[in-house]
Each structure stands twice: as structure tokens, then as C-alpha cells.
Structure 1
Amino acid sequence: MGKLSRPLLRLKGHELVPPEEDRRVDLDIFDVLLPCRIYEVSYKVASLGQVSPTLEFLLRLAKAAPGIADEEAAAFFGYSQTEMAYVLEEAIGPGYLERRAGKLWLTISGEGLFKADDEQPSIYTVEARRRSFGFDLMAIAPQVKRFLDELERLLPELPSEDPAGTGRVAERVPARFKQFFRELADQADRGKTERRDIYSIDPVVTPGERYQMPLRFVTFAQASNPSAAEIDLSSWRMDHEVADRPEIERAVALFVKDQQTSAAHLDAASGYQTLIDMAPEFLKEFTTRNGLSEIRYWREAVSRAGEPRTDRKTIPIVGSLLLPGNIERVQAVLDYGLRNVTEVPVNIYAVAPQTRRWGATTQQRDLLTLIQEKTALILPGDKPDMKSVCLYAWDKPAQYTAKTFDEIQVVRVGDFPKSLELLLVPGVMVAAIVHAPLGASTGNPVPLGLASFDPLVIDRAYAYFLERYQFYQSKGRPD
């Protein structure tokens, strides 16, 4: 579970990777907001308690031999007259047994202690309760509310079929409450050890406060068909929990499908050429007269994406820079790069690719914070803290992007290839990624590029960046 099932596509005669080398490749990571609402539910629970062993044996005997005489029961258990009187009081006092003419009979209440197909008597107490529970507005499944920071509140929201959170959703709450009762009861009655079962639910529930909760997921694909993205929700919930929430899985799948585009629209060729211009030595084996052989580079990068070393200053990057594994690689590149500089960089520069929902995750903020804190630790100084500056080629950046970076500089659409993403710490490191469908003319963008602490690569990248950035430093906003 946690992904969309589909047949694996094999490309006959010109596979992107040989069948024996096919594997899962993580592509991107997103945090989206799940619309939720608090509902007040009235219900009754039956709390189960066990009778004492002596009472249990006596009730079982009376059930098996209705009308047994007192003396016969005492002899059966080997009780004295005093002991038998004590046990009888435990049974007759609450009304489980009655004595008629020296014989013992189960009452209706006593019969009720025996559940169907159960020879063991149990005591139930029914309690009425009215409590508030959070449910998402898609699957109508439990969703605990927690505080969101300012960035989290700006993340994109999954669309809901019932934006008002009432009507059909409220009607479904009682049935879903019953399905998830064990989970909800554990939340509401934490610390109580007795077993509880749902007894009844009021069909009328009262809607309360709306709220949102972050949902993190990863997109991935097979190396043989990278532009056909699938979804993995395992970082949000376990597989069996995802299976209980198919509506959310479908909504996430549509969210991912909405990002499909074409290589031509993103000007992928220009993006790949920029990689060559920055790191021609590293990419020489994959460079032809027509530019980068991105398929060959993909095959190589998937098979040998590794860690930087002193003798391996540039490494391939597959997937978003914000994937946990790639954040670790960027950190390692940063560590090596910081060994070679003595002056604290003023800024971290980023160029946003012109793809939908780029950077829609708190991982973007965490990566920038990591770079700032590591640089300040290794290169302490009296200079102001490094600022993060993002060059954004749309009229208005997404709110989460504006909140993530210290400064946004809007540039013209044609200043950078639409597919290109840059992360640049001048003098220290650079990461350059092309986001474009791979192995197909249309599909989900496949991040593919490199990261480097090689001074030559960094200098070329910085010169390329400054050539476009300095125009705005002197002119202000683009026309």
C-alpha cells in the first residue's frame, strides 16, 4: 500500500537501464495540508470487568444445573456452610442469583453476564460519553490536531470534496467513528486498562473547528520509467492505516499527476547544457555534439550516486535536493567546501525551477538552516548571518517559498532555463539540478544533476549566476 499500483513499463530495445539493474528511485518529497474538522460525538461504551473466581464458578454451575440445591452446590465445591453463605451473598446481592425453596436459579441479570458463545460470565457497565474528536474531511478518519508553525500553515492544501466540512461528511462520522473506535477510545481514555466496546452512537454529531494537518509523502519511480511517478505515504502513516484512507491516497495521486509537463515546455535541453557548461570535465563521458546524453547520464547516476571525497569533488544527484539522502550528500559537499575557504559567504543563492509545487516542504527551510548553521560554526565571524536569496521567475512566488527564503528576487522567465534549479554558496559549493521528464516527452519532472565543491565548477556556476543576477542588483525588478 501507499503507492499507486501499475504495470511496470519495459522499454523494448532501448531501456533506460538494463532489466537486471532496474530499481526504485526516489524523485521528490512534499508536505501538503490535509483539511480536517473537530466533531463532537455522543456515544455509549460498555466497560468490561471480570467477576471473582468464586462467583464465576458458582454462576457457571447454576447455568449448567438450573435449580441446584444449596447443599449440592456447597458439596460440589467443598465449601463449608460459612463459605457457601459468603459466595451466595456475592451472587444474590447484585441480583445475579435467586434462591427459591433452597434451590439456586440464574436471574435475567445473571443470564446477561454470559455473552453469546461464551461460557465465562463477565460484568458490563454502560457509560454515556460526549467528546470531541478530529477527523480528516476526505477519508473521515481520525486525525489528531497539533500546533503548526508559520511555514507549515502556508503549505498547499489537498482539495476536499466537501469544503464546508458538513453535510455528507457529518453523516458519515458515526459509521467511521465506530470503525476507528478502538483507536479513538485509546486516545480518549489513555491510562485506563479495562476493555471497552462501543455500545451505541448518537446519529447526530456536531461539527466544530476546522484545522489542517501536514501530510508528508515521497514520489518515486522505477529507473526504467522515471517520468511515471508513484507515491509513497509511509512517512505519514503505516500501510494498514493508508489502506483505511483510500480517498487521501487518490487525492495525493491527483496532486502528483497535476505536476506533469513536457520536456519542451521546460526547455530541458538548455538546462542540460548549463550542467555541461558548469562541469564539462565531470560530464565529458556523457557529452555529445547535440549536448548532454541525459539517458546515459541517468543510467550512470542511478547506479553510482555516492558520497563526495577529496578525490571526488563532483557527484551526480538523482532526485530532489530535499530528499533526506540528498540533504546528507549536500551536507557532505558543504563540509568539504568549507575546508577550502576562510571568509564567511554573505548569501546562499537559489534559482527556482519553473515547475509546479517546487519546494513545497519544510525540508527546504531545514536545508537552508543547516547550511547557515554549519557555515557559522566552521567560519565564525562578526558578519551578519547569511541570508538566503531565491531568484523566482514567476510573477508571485508561492507563500511557502516566500516564507522559506529571507529574500525573493523576481526575474524574467527567460533569464534561466525553466528546468534549472541552482543552490549556490559562493566559494563553498554548488548544486545544479534539471527538472524535466526523462525517457518520455511528457510526464512528471525527474530531478537530475550534480553537486560539487570543486572550485572550478563553483566559479563557473557563480559567474553564470552573477551575469543574470547583477542586472537586477542595478535595475531592481525586471520589466
Structure 2
Amino acid sequence: MSQKPRNKLSVRVPRDTLVDDSEDGPLILGILDLSLPCRRFVVEHKVAEVGKVSVTAEFLLRFVKALGSCSEEDAQTFFGYSRREMAYVLAEVEEADYVDRVEGRLTLTANGTGLFQPGSDDPLIFEVERNTARIGLDLLSLAPADSRSPSVFELSLPELPLADPAQISSATDRVPVQFRRHFRELSPRMDSVAAARRSLYSIDAVRAEERFTNVVRVKLVSTGMKPMQVEVDLSDWRSDHELADREAVSRSVVQITERLGCSRREDDVDAYRLLIELAPEYLNEWTRRDGLSVERFYRHAFTARGDVRADRQTTPILGSLFTAENARRLLEVANYGLRRTKHPSPVLFWTVPQAPLWGSTSIMSEAVDQLRDLVMRAGDFCQVEAIALTAGKPEPWIKRGFTGWRESQSLVFPGGFEMLLAPCGFVAASVHAPIGAPSGVPVPLGFASFDPRIVDRAMAMLAGQAPRFGLNEALSQELISPPVSLDPET
């Protein structure tokens, strides 16, 4: 007789960390592009280029060096020179101040001795020539900076702060020291052929010219266990050995990223509740009576990292939408959603969260353009608008990254709430708030979906607030779901 198996009871043990040690790993929270102020300088300088003496003079110098001192007759006899030939060779080395002639004896001068480098029997000379270099240096570390024409969007990016404003006014005075320090790096740009044989002899004058900007790509990296603690990764901008010469830039980046930290807002709970309202079926597993179990959903988002598929309409999003991985997921969700819909809309709405430096990366501008292209092809539209919805005046890079924007006079949605909506196509929503600690860098957490139910709820949610953003009738109409056409034969 078999016994009926008893149901097992499990006790949930509280976690000390957000994820287990075995699950931990790097987490890219976001990407920032920051403007680095630079300037072109004209540097008048002299370079010493290694050359060789004539063959006859070289043999004579070697002979005198080997003997320490010799008579003119000994040298003439050794080489078999005629009196005229000997006079010619002696004139060359004496005029160059390589040999002293005293009472018919030859000895090397200090300059002549200096021609022989340690370990070498070949006498070398240095030919000094005047040069003028036009170089670009950043104004924080005065290290070499590439000069290229930035895009209109890049010109609007936030600028790295200067530790001391006097750095700009005193830059010209500091250029000679830095030019000498970085001469080996700059020399190939000025003359790639002769660079290896040249050394800097003197710096005669420096003149400042026009300013320009470089873009510093900053990767914000944390871990699954401590997502609110970030480290700055500049490897996409410069290599390790180059960063060693640009410590002032690194310090400025750290200074600006320290502004990202914040404490939990009172309305963060309401922001997570909006996620549940949008996707109750998807978030059911992580929903409690008092709202979303943020830490449990966070763990799922960190460990799942599943690909978007036709049978997986909703995928978790952890970190900014403007990281390479999340941008890829977003485009995949958009592709599925736009292929499914019969009623694409020629407009994208992006509710911008109250998060410092949100969208300050060219990835945002590129993502907006790519999404517009997808919608344009799906609906055969001539033009697709991308509208940023902001509480208050938008940042300059947001104005440049979108085709238009609408401002509300006060918060419409909770401060940390972000939502991208392509009506009848797809939606992405997340909350920017610290996770695992009362304060720290906000950790965007949410989902992207092409589930028609979630898209319809997002349309209804935004339509209810359209007047507060000042959306006109045409834009508001795009948020109304088209009527479902019924087959008369069904």
C-alpha cells in the first residue's frame, strides 16, 4: 500500500544580500557622454634630429678618440690622405667644434666627445631645426586631445567641471611643461617618418587658438549585490596608460557622477505601483498586498536576462535603457510590436524621469532615431515625431535628442517613473530609485513589452494625463486605441 506524499512546507529565509554570491556579477547601470573642454595651441619649438657626420670625418673622429690624442701627421699617414684632403677633413671637424688643433696635435673637444653615446662607436650629431606645431589639448589635464567636429547633439552634452577656473586662463603658461611631457605622443602626429629620430630641443613660444570639445564616454558599473554603489569605467574612452596622464579628467568625472546619488522618494512606492497597473499579469509573481516586492523582482531581472522572443512578450529591464544590452532588447521589443500591430502611430512618447543626467549620451539620440525609423517603416510614414514629456524645462541634450517636447508645470507621474510608449506598438517602463539601501545611485528597474494589454493600459494612462502635458488634440488622439473591427461572419 502506497502512502500519499505529504505536501512540503518551506520557510522563506530573509536574505542579507540582493543576490547570492554565486549569482553576483557586474551590472552596467548606465552610460554617460560628457563634454571635455579642449583648446588648440600653436607651439613654436626647436627639435634636434639625429644625423651623421661625413664618412671621412667619422673615421678621423674614431681615430682621435681611440688614441686620445695624435699628431696631424700621424692621422694623415694612417689614412693616406694628401695634404689637401687632410686640410678638408680637419676644416669640417674643427668648424663644427669637434676637434682641437694645438701645436699640430689633435684632441676631441667636449662636443666631439659627446658625439659618442655610451656603448656606441659611431659618432652622432644633432641637427636643430625650427618647427611650429598646432596641437589640441584638453583644458583639465592638458593632455593631447583629438580634434573632430562634434555632432549638434554632442555640443549640448553636460560639460565636465573644472576644479579650478584659473586652469583655463593659465593654460598657455602651462603648455610648455605638458608639451615636453607628451612630446613622444605628439611627435608622430607632426612627422610620422622622423619622429623616432627627433627630440625636443627647446620651446620658444605658445599661442592659444580656438576652443573645441571632446566627448568622454563614461560607463557606470556596479554589482548585483550592491547596485547602488557604482564605479566609473573610462576604458571606452582611453586605455589605462593614457588615463594615467589624465588624472584631472578622471577626478572631474568622479565629481560629476557623485551628483547621481539620491535618497528614496516618498512617491517611489507610487511609481512601482504604476508598473503593476501596467503589467499586473506579468508582475503577479512579485506583487504583495502592499505593492511590488522590489528586491525580489530585482533579483529576477538580474539573474534572468532572457532574450526577447515572439512567445515572450514582456522582458525585465535592469539599468538604463541607454546601455548596449538594454538598447538591443528595446529594439527587439519594438520590432516584434510593430510587426504585430495593424495600427502603428507616427509618434513616440517618452516620459522623462526626474533623474540627474538622464539621457546625456549619444546612445539616447541614436536609440530615438532608430525607433523612429522602425515606426516609419512599419506604418509607411513620411515622418515620425518623438516627443519628450518633462516636468519643467528639459535639459539641452533632451531638446536635441527628440523632435519635440512638452512641459508640465508640476510632476504628473512620480519623480522616478519613466515610460516610453509607441501607441499600439510597444512600451517600456521603469522606476529610478535606490535598491538595497535608503540612498545611493538610482537603479532603473522595470520592463519592456509588446503585449497588447500592457500597451493599451499605457495608452490609457498617458491619455488621462495628456492635458497636463499640453498635448494637442492630434497627439492626444494617437493615445486612443482604434476600435476592434469585427468579422461579420463570426
- Give the TM-score of the pair, scaled to structure 1: 0.86
Residue 210 of structure 1 pairs with residue 192 of structure 2:
no
Residue 461 of structure 1 pairs with residue 422 of structure 2:
no
Query: What is the match of residue 419 of structure 1?
Result: 416
Give, in angstroms, the shift of residue 66 of structure 1.
2.6
| Among candidates 133, 136, 141, match of residue 135 of structure 2 | 133
Query: What is the match of residue 446 of structure 1?
Result: 443
Residue 231 of structure 1 pairs with residue 229 of structure 2:
no
Measured against aligned partners, the alpha-carbon deviations of 1:122-143 in whole angstroms (never above 9, x if no partner) come to 2211122333322222112122
| Among candidates 376, 385, 393, match of residue 387 of structure 1 | 385
The 1-side partners of 2:376 and 2:176 are apart by 54
Whether the 8 Å CA contact 2:270–2:414 is kept in 1: the answer is yes
| Bigger-Rg structure (1/2) | 2
Whether the 8 Å CA contact 1:271–1:434 is kept in 2: the answer is yes
Query: What is the match of residue 152 of structure 1?
Result: 154
Query: What is the match of residue 363 of structure 2?
Result: 363
| Among candidates 176, 179, 192, match of residue 178 of structure 2 | 176
Whether the 8 Å CA contact 1:55–1:87 is kept in 2: the answer is no
The 2-side partners of 1:118 and 1:200 are apart by 26
SS in 1 for 2:282: coil
Whether the 8 Å CA contact 1:48–1:194 is kept in 2: the answer is no
Whether the 8 Å CA contact 1:392–1:410 is kept in 2: the answer is yes
Deviates more, 1:128-137 or 1:433-442: 128-137
Deviates more, 1:362-371 or 1:411-420: 411-420
CA separation of 1:329 and 1:475: change in aligned 2, threshold 3 A: closer
Residue 93 of structure 1 pairs with residue 92 of structure 2:
yes
Whether the 8 Å CA contact 1:37–1:165 is kept in 2: the answer is no
Query: What is the match of residue 241 of structure 2?
Result: 240
The 1-side partners of 2:138 and 2:41 are apart by 10
| Among candidates 40, 43, 50, match of residue 42 of structure 2 | 40
Whether the 8 Å CA contact 1:35–1:160 is kept in 2: the answer is no
Query: What is the match of residue 9 of structure 1?
Result: none
The 2-side partners of 1:424 and 1:441 are apart by 30
CA separation of 1:73 and 1:275: change in aligned 2, threshold 3 A: farther
Letter of the 2:383 counterpart: D
Whether the 8 Å CA contact 1:25–1:222 is kept in 2: the answer is yes
SS in 1 for 2:127: strand
Measured against aligned partners, the alpha-carbon deviations of 1:313-332 in whole angstroms (never above 9, x if no partner) come to 11111111111121111111
Letter of the 2:448 counterpart: A
CA separation of 1:60 and 1:463: change in aligned 2, threshold 3 A: farther
Whether the 8 Å CA contact 2:228–2:434 is kept in 1: the answer is yes
CA separation of 1:13 and 1:55: change in aligned 2, threshold 3 A: farther
Residue 399 of structure 1 pairs with residue 358 of structure 2:
no
Query: What is the match of residue 318 of structure 2?
Result: 318
CA separation of 1:385 and 1:93: change in aligned 2, threshold 3 A: same
Letter of the 2:403 counterpart: D
Give, in angstroms, the shift of residue 300 of structure 1.
1.7
Deviates more, 1:228-237 or 1:107-116: 107-116
The 2-side partners of 1:475 and 1:342 are apart by 22
Matches within 5 A, 1:103-114: 105-114=107-116
Whether the 8 Å CA contact 2:346–2:375 is kept in 1: the answer is no
Whether the 8 Å CA contact 1:314–1:451 is kept in 2: the answer is yes
Whether the 8 Å CA contact 2:344–2:425 is kept in 1: the answer is no
Number of residues of Structure 1 aligned to a counterpart in Structure 2: 457
SS in 2 for 1:159: coil
The 2-side partners of 1:50 and 1:318 are apart by 65
Query: What is the match of residue 331 of structure 2?
Result: 331
Whether the 8 Å CA contact 2:31–2:217 is kept in 1: the answer is yes
Question: Alpha carbon RMSD of aligned pairs, Å?
Answer: 3.1
CA separation of 1:115 and 1:373: change in aligned 2, threshold 3 A: same
Give, in angstroms, the shift of residue 413 of structure 1.
3.2
Deviates more, 1:59-68 or 1:349-358: 59-68
Deviates more, 1:228-237 or 1:143-152: 143-152
Unaligned runs of 5+ in 2: 1-13, 475-490
The 1-side partners of 2:142 and 2:223 are apart by 32
The 1-side partners of 2:118 and 2:44 are apart by 27
The 2-side partners of 1:344 and 1:384 are apart by 13
The 2-side partners of 1:103 and 1:126 are apart by 30
Letter of the 1:304 counterpart: A
The 2-side partners of 1:240 and 1:166 are apart by 25
Deviates more, 1:402-411 or 1:340-349: 340-349
Give, in angstroms, the shift of residue 288 of structure 1.
1.3
Unaligned runs of 5+ in 1: 1-11
The 1-side partners of 2:58 and 2:268 are apart by 78
Query: What is the match of residue 486 of structure 2?
Result: none
Whether the 8 Å CA contact 1:37–1:207 is kept in 2: the answer is yes
Measured against aligned partners, the alpha-carbon deviations of 1:110-160 in whole angstroms (never above 9, x if no partner) come to 323124565442221112233332222211212232212222111111122
Measured against aligned partners, the alpha-carbon deviations of 1:52-81 in whole angstroms (never above 9, x if no partner) come to 7886566444322234579988999xx8x5
Residue 25 of structure 1 pairs with residue 22 of structure 2:
no
CA separation of 1:399 and 1:174: change in aligned 2, threshold 3 A: same
Aligned-pair identity in percent equals 37
Query: What is the match of residue 408 of structure 1?
Result: 405
Give, in angstroms, the shift of residue 437 of structure 1.
0.9
SS in 2 for 1:124: strand
Give, in angstroms, the shift of residue 293 of structure 1.
1.4
SS in 2 for 1:241: helix
Query: What is the match of residue 427 of structure 2?
Result: 430
The 1-side partners of 2:286 and 2:85 are apart by 92
Deviates more, 1:308-317 or 1:103-112: 103-112
Letter of the 1:421 counterpart: E
Give, in angstroms, the shift of residue 21 of structure 1.
2.3
Give, in angstroms, the shift of residue 281 of structure 1.
2.1
CA separation of 1:296 and 1:90: change in aligned 2, threshold 3 A: farther
The 2-side partners of 1:192 and 1:35 are apart by 31
SS in 2 for 1:144: coil
Give, in angstroms, the shift of residue 432 of structure 1.
0.8
Letter of the 1:45 counterpart: V
Whether the 8 Å CA contact 2:315–2:449 is kept in 1: the answer is yes
Whether the 8 Å CA contact 1:92–1:98 is kept in 2: the answer is no
Whether the 8 Å CA contact 2:346–2:376 is kept in 1: the answer is no
The 1-side partners of 2:342 and 2:73 are apart by 99
CA separation of 1:326 and 1:74: change in aligned 2, threshold 3 A: farther
The 2-side partners of 1:153 and 1:110 are apart by 56
